[in-house]
Structure 1
């Protein structure tokens, strides 16, 4: 029996002053942002830690509790191929100071505004997290939405007469920094926080759009016992990740010195315009992930590697990328093909167990962001629907019936699907016409209703593999 990871078992690990507020303490943020803070700290370039804020009442698992039990230490395990070399590293991360649950201690949360050392705010509250919630209230303790909580914290900071923050959301939505700022300003108006606060928001804070890229499967359940024996301690919040990392931050040049990620040798780009980077990554890496999940799960596959090692499914992914995604992107084809080839190699990483179920979280908003724009452009330019995306869309809608695949989404989205599926004969028209899901009425897209109906009927009769075999040859 090994001891639990803590500062008692590893007394020499440094403590750093809090310099970043981080909304979300899931596997991704701990193996991406906090891991990068660690690399800067290792080189004496940052000397700071992140204080994690739990963004929703229903936290996933018991991360906060386990982090506290481990003195906020945890292990990141990097496994994979990088620059033609096998990477198999283990590192204890000491760049998180504590976890605050604003639902249990709201005053401790607001007290963060008093700390002059805090200058950065990051977040990953899923694609659905950056959203305006009508009726969210300033006098709630805390406000329900992430932007509402952020508004309350920023207002307290303003009241104290202190400097603002550099705010870098990591949610995978287009122009995430701009959208977050828009919602914060909307709450400021709703809550009558005053013109001086609005002016301070705009002049003293920098909202940066960003793009993140690292595959983080999370806790290695199947290898946990072997890893415990290898490491010599028990770590209930360790996270596995691929060695590859890429972060694009759209912000002022001065940020390069304030947040010296590139100086630490990290694959981070500070740029005045991140558009090209975002298009490439969201559609060629995240898009195939979202397409493969419902089809793979319906066929009984468990991981991304399972998908890529399956002849039928790997052909589907390759054809999806080369025939439907790349032609719709406004970047040089050679560059896109090179990136797509690297993506498919990453998907095949034998050291990473990337569960399809973990990717399936909030799949509806992911489809809207990652694949729907391509589908719409394809139909407009070619006069027909992209066959592979359309089949994946039908499989996704079927999976949200909830009887064959466990659903992971907000209560509001699940309620919409439960209502629509209660009348199977009208399901397709009802769900495609729901503008709250798609931002538009998809029944107006030529051929969409008939195509989805046909695919659903086939997926009911046969498994997804049979449907794919006919499609991909």
Structure 2
């Protein structure tokens, strides 16, 4: 019987002092933030560990404790045309606190002068206000309320504040977190001195994270146990690519020397261009490819990349229509685009198109529509491939060729518009609840989309693409 991973079965592993509080013990944070702490520690640049706070009652704290808070990260994929297949035991987590079982231990973190950083990933819904939370709750319900309680304890002890870097996938996450903390501070009547300390002594940073983390390799667990020589119930698989943009003061690069450790991390005073780059050049092509590829019977992103016609569509969409509309140096955009294409080809990650198709209307609105409109304004014509992708998306929401996954209100709007096919395009583009504006006012868009939609409806998406891309 194989022994479980622990400090007993793996003697001599280093132990580091706690320097970071991390809300969230899930796969992503352990393969993203804690993995990066490990890389800094390996080079003697940080000498610190993270104490993880389990933000909900059910979590991985028990499993972590059974393994002395050790786990393995497997990096699988292609990076700069080289296959990466690495395994590393992570020693940068000290312990996990379940604040539902031991709230006193959580508040005691405020007493530790060695703790400087707070990171979090409590899902996109985590940075939200919850009515009824109070300072006396043990614990409060929402993540921002839990954080407010900890910060207030720190303030009462007369200690320095924290550098706070949320990783939740919402725009301006640091600013929104601060706003909600301030809302609780006002509601709980914590006083002007606390409000001043909150702003003056703490640094709330906005951040953008990027790494695909499939998680526990259930289908290969037995094989990996034999190869590794130990049983690890917390193995995390991730792609080699990593990118972290932190909007914060320049001195943060010295306090948290991630870039110095060779990691792909940028500290900047404006993360907007980087956010636009990711949203439009990584997420945008995902949204564009889905309806066209699913209509052609493809199932995964890898299928798309291995299909010559669809690969050319993605490549030309990125190079000819998306990149020219972004305000970043051409070399940087070209390098990022090449990295994205490489990531899309990763044979170790099965990224299903059906999962990407969830809520495609709101995704198109944020990922592709702004670029389409800018292209039309600057060049006086519609971008052909984006317009084709838009038409395919609208056709897919008829529901007879591709399964629709969206909110009831969105599907109702489409069903109503499709009840009169002759006026469908004009009706749906005029729906401001879907697009945030009346798209029939964009010159040529109604006719352009209608023509592409009719073409797709007459034949199949592959044939249409073959005419649209350069063969």
TM-score (norm 2): 0.80
- Superposed counterparts of 1:31-430, under 5 Å: 31-55=31-55, 63-83=60-80, 85-102=82-99, 106-130=103-127, 132-133=128-129, 135=131, 137-138=133-134, 142-293=139-290, 295-296=292-293, 301-356=298-353, 367-382=364-379, 386=383, 388-389=385-386, 392=389, 414=407, 416-417=409-410
The residue that corresponds to 2:30 in the other structure is: 30
Change (3 A) 1:142 1:355: farther
Distance 1:322 1:49, change over 3 A: same
Q: 1:224 to 1:292 in 2, by over 3 A?
A: farther
Partner Cα distance (2:150, 2:124) in 1: 21
Distance 1:351 1:422, change over 3 A: closer
Q: CA deviation at 1:442?
A: 5.3
- Deviation sequence 1:4-61 (CA, Å, 0-9, x none): 333333233233332212233333322121101111222333222223334467x7xx
* Alpha carbons 2:77, 2:240 under 8 Å: kept: yes
Matched-pair contact (CA < 8 Å) for 1:18–1:97: yes
Shift of 1:120: 0.7
2:17 is aligned with 1:20: no
| Deviation sequence 1:202-237 (CA, Å, 0-9, x none) | 101111233333333333344333322211223333
The answer to whether the 8 Å contact 1:325/1:374 transfers is: yes
Query: Contact between 2:259 and 2:266, CA under 8 Å: does it hold in 1?
Result: yes
SS at match of 1:233: coil
Following the alignment from structure 1 to structure 2, what is the Cα–Cα distance between the partners of residues 244 and 238? Answer: 18
Q: Which moved more, 1:28-37 or 1:346-355?
A: 346-355
Describe the superposition over 1:306-355 as per-residue Cα deviations: whole angstroms up to 9, x where unpaired.
22112232122112212321121123434423331232123223344445
Q: For residues 360 and 54 of structure 2, what CA distance do their matches in structure 1 show?
A: 22
Return 5+ residue gaps in structure 2 as ranges.
none
Deviations, residues 234-273 of structure 1 (Å, cap 9, x unaligned): 3333222233333332322332232122333323333334
**Contiguous gaps of at least 5 residues in structure 1:** 408-412
Of structures 1 and 2, the larger Rg is shown by 2
C-alpha RMSD of the superposition: 4.1
After TM superposition, the structure 1 stretch with the greater mean CA deviation from structure 2, 371-380 or 113-122, is 371-380
Q: Secondary structure at the match of 1:4?
A: coil
Count of residue correspondences: 462
Return 458-467 or 111-120, whichever deviates more: 458-467
What CA distance in whole angstroms lies between the structure 2 residues aligned with 1:138 and 1:10? 44
Distance 1:382 1:188, change over 3 A: farther
Query: Does the C-alpha gap of structure 1 residues 246 and 425 become closer, same or farther in structure 2, counting only changes over 3 Å?
Result: closer
How far has the Cα of 1:449 moved from its partner? Answer: 7.7
Q: Deviations over 1:162-218 (max 9, x none)?
A: 221101122344433233323333443344433222211110111123333333333
State the Cα deviation string for residues 406-430 of structure 1 (Å, max 9, x = none): 95xxxxx846447657867589968
CA distance 1:321–1:111, shift in 2 (3 Å): same
Going from structure 1 to structure 2, the CA distance change for 1:277 and 1:66 (only over 3 Å counts) comes to same
Distance 1:441 1:141 in 2: 45
Q: Distance in 2 between matches of 1:390 and 1:210?
A: 31
TM-score, normalised relative to structure 1: 0.79
Return the offset for 1:103. 5.3
Distance 1:296 1:228, change over 3 A: farther
Determine the C-alpha separation between the residues in 2 that align with 1:406 and 1:111. 48
Is the contact made by 1:5 and 1:233 (CA closer than 8 Å) also made in structure 2?
A: yes
Given that 2:295 and 2:401 are in contact with CA atoms closer than 8 Å, whether structure 1 keeps it comes out as no
Cα distance in 1 between the residues matched to 2:385 and 2:123: 25
